[in-house]
Amino acid sequence: MADILIVEDDAAIAELIYMNLCAEGYRCTCAHDGMEGADYIEQGKFDLVLLDIMLPEVDGYELLEYIKPTGTPVIFLTAKGAVEDRIRGLKAGADDYLVKPFQVGELLARVEAVLRRMGMGGKQLELGDVTVFTDSRQVLKAGSPVILTAKEFDLLVELMQNKNIALYRDQLYEKVWKEPFFGETRTLDAHIQRLRRKLGWEDQIKTIFRIGYRLEG
């Protein structure tokens, strides 16, 4: 799971980015000015920095010079959309340049692309000693591969993306099997039992009476 630092002084934009990246399985930290961003860079190791240019205290170009020796890739996020601004940002050493306002989907795609170029591509979901790589559809438990069927894998992803939320049987079935649910629960229940057994999650995947299941963690 990649660690991403978001350096953005607009609280609403920072929160939007934070929520959407966390929902995709990334670990995120927010800084609201250049000095705070520099402090975080000094304290920890990040896999990617999303960096606004026009920041209080220390602007994005100055902070980029501080980041470059660490080898951490940077995506500039800025309202400065002129061609000369893009050229300046990329020549300064940014790995990508995204102009505000942007679609969240485009931001996620740019993040994935930069991480992939750095050899860290692919979304990951983690719970305890279980790691799920959604792009390559691989599952590891304590570092060892777990062999799942296609439906078991899709069911696991759905549970992990909705951790600690009670999911209705019909909701799970229709999302994973992509067909209407007519009340027959044996197929779903059997897949849940196999997931519990294969992952050792007898206690983590709870049965919720008359509702469905909840993954706890």
pLDDT of residue 119: 63
Instruction: Give percent of the chain above pLDDT 70.
Output: 97
Considering the domain architecture, whether residues 29 and 106 belong to the same structural domain is answered as yes
Considering the domain architecture, whether residues 112 and 147 belong to the same structural domain is answered as no
Tell me how far apart the alpha carbons of residues 5 and 51 are, in angstroms, rounded to a whole number: 8
Last residue of some domain: 64, 83, 117?
Answer: 117
Q: Where are the alpha helices (DSSP H) in 54-103?
A: 60-67, 83-92
Considering the domain architecture, whether residues 97 and 181 belong to the same structural domain is answered as no
Sheet architecture: strand order including 48-52: 27-31, 3-7, 48-52, 74-78, 96-99
Considering the domain architecture, whether residues 113 and 210 belong to the same structural domain is answered as no
Q: What letters, b where the CB count within 10 A reaches 16 and e where it falls short, cover 50-65? A: bbbbebeebebbebbe
pLDDT in tens, 161-215: 888 999 999 989 988 988 888 988 999 999 999 999 999 999 999 999 989 999 9
pLDDT in tens, 116-129: 777 665 567 889 99
Considering the domain architecture, whether residues 13 and 88 belong to the same structural domain is answered as yes
Considering the domain architecture, whether residues 132 and 103 belong to the same structural domain is answered as no
The tally of domains found in the chain comes to 2
Q: Is the dihedral of CA 149, 152, 21, 175 positive or negative?
A: positive
Determine how many CB atoms are found less than 10 A away from the CB of residue 180. Answer: 8
Considering the domain architecture, whether residues 103 and 154 belong to the same structural domain is answered as no
- Beta strand spans in 108-169 (E): 124-127, 130-133, 138-141, 144-145, 167-168
Considering the domain architecture, whether residues 90 and 187 belong to the same structural domain is answered as no
* Short-list 18, 22, 19, 20, CA closest to 7: 18
Considering the domain architecture, whether residues 136 and 99 belong to the same structural domain is answered as no
| Enclosing domain of residue 142 | 124-215
Measured in degrees and rounded to the nearest 5, phi and psi for residue 127 equal -150, 115
pLDDT of residue 186: 93
Considering the domain architecture, whether residues 28 and 101 belong to the same structural domain is answered as yes
H or E element in which residue 55 lies: none
Considering the domain architecture, whether residues 83 and 164 belong to the same structural domain is answered as no
* Short-list 216, 104, 91, CA closest to 162: 216
pLDDT in tens, 123-148: 678 899 999 887 778 899 998 999 99
Q: What is the CATH number for 90?
A: 3.40.50.2300
